[in-house]
Amino acid sequence: MAQQTQIARVGEAWREFTTIFPTFERLADARPADVLRAWRGLGYNRRALNLWRAARIVVDEHGGRLPSDVGALERLPGIGPYTARAVAAIAFGVPVGAVDTNVRRVLGRTMAGATDALLAADLQLLADASVPADRAADWTHALMDVGATFCRTNRPACEACPARLWCRYSAEATARAMAEPGRSPTLARERAAPFSSTSRWLRGRILDRLRDADGSNWLEFVVPIGDHDRVAVVRALLLLAADGLLELDPDSELGARLPLG
């Protein structure tokens, strides 16, 4: 219901809808016409039919219980990559990253300096790797709230943002403001970063150093590596770990080794 609809309109509609259809079985047994009637006022009526079709699949293939697996969720009508991960993280505590517009902006600016600096595949890997294993729901809500409240598209509130100390965008905006007196750090224009090539180079250097190291011990990386600062190196390590190409040292964010298992 909250897809493409303001949450203020969803609350009462949710209560009425779940009163009529309190279970997947009741929704699956309903006529499409009844579902569409109950959906009145929400718009985008295709979502109502997708929800009805999804309920039938949940009943027929999953015993009436919504699956927690992201792949199974994505196979339900009307559920895409973002919704599947949001449901998995918030409802089931699965440590996966739900990437919406707000999360994309927060991670892009914080880790790479600009909203569009990360390729979609890298952004998803980074989002997944960032989720605390035991607080997936809290983390998901927090990132969304930071994006909506502080890391806004225009005039981001960098001074009040809880991620400021780790944010590459804020640091670079502040540096530009110091170089150009009178310019507000929060008004600095985002740059378009050629991330794909620099990321590949950095990952290659990291793996080469791990190949040359004693594989049984953790290697602590010294930063910078080339032109890449600590934030960029940590991001690359997370992405490589998400790909299964290395293991991360639990005691150091700059420590890693090649996989032993």
pLDDT in tens, 15-54: 999 999 999 999 999 999 899 889 888 888 888 989 999 9
pLDDT tops 60 at residue 96? yes
Helix axes 230-242, 120-130, angle to 10 degrees: 90
pLDDT tens across 103-120, in order?
Answer: 999 999 998 899 888 888
> Which residues, other chains included, contact 18 with Cβ-Cβ below 8 Å and sequence gap of 6+?
none
Q: Which residues contact 50 (CB under 8 A, 6 or more apart)?
A: 77, 78, 79
pLDDT recorded at residue 23: 97
Instruction: Give the CATH number of domain 7-65.
Output: 1.10.340.30
Task: Spell out the residues 6+ positions from residue 135 whose beta carbon is closer than 8 angstroms to its own.
Answer: none
119: tokens are: 């390729």
Q: What does the domain layout of the chain look like in residue ranges?
A: 7-65, 101-187, 195-257
Ranking 94-98, 114-118, 233-237 by mean pLDDT, the lowest is 114-118
CA 138/CA 131 separation, integer angstroms: 9
CATH 3.40.20.10 at 101-187, yes or no: no
**Helix (H), strand (E) at residue 257:** strand 255-257
Q: What's the CA gap between 73 and 31, in Å, rounded?
A: 23
**Domains 7-65 and 101-187 belong to one CATH topology:** no
pLDDT of residue 196: 35
Q: What's the pLDDT at 40?
A: 85
Q: CA 202 to CA 200: how far, in whole Å? A: 5
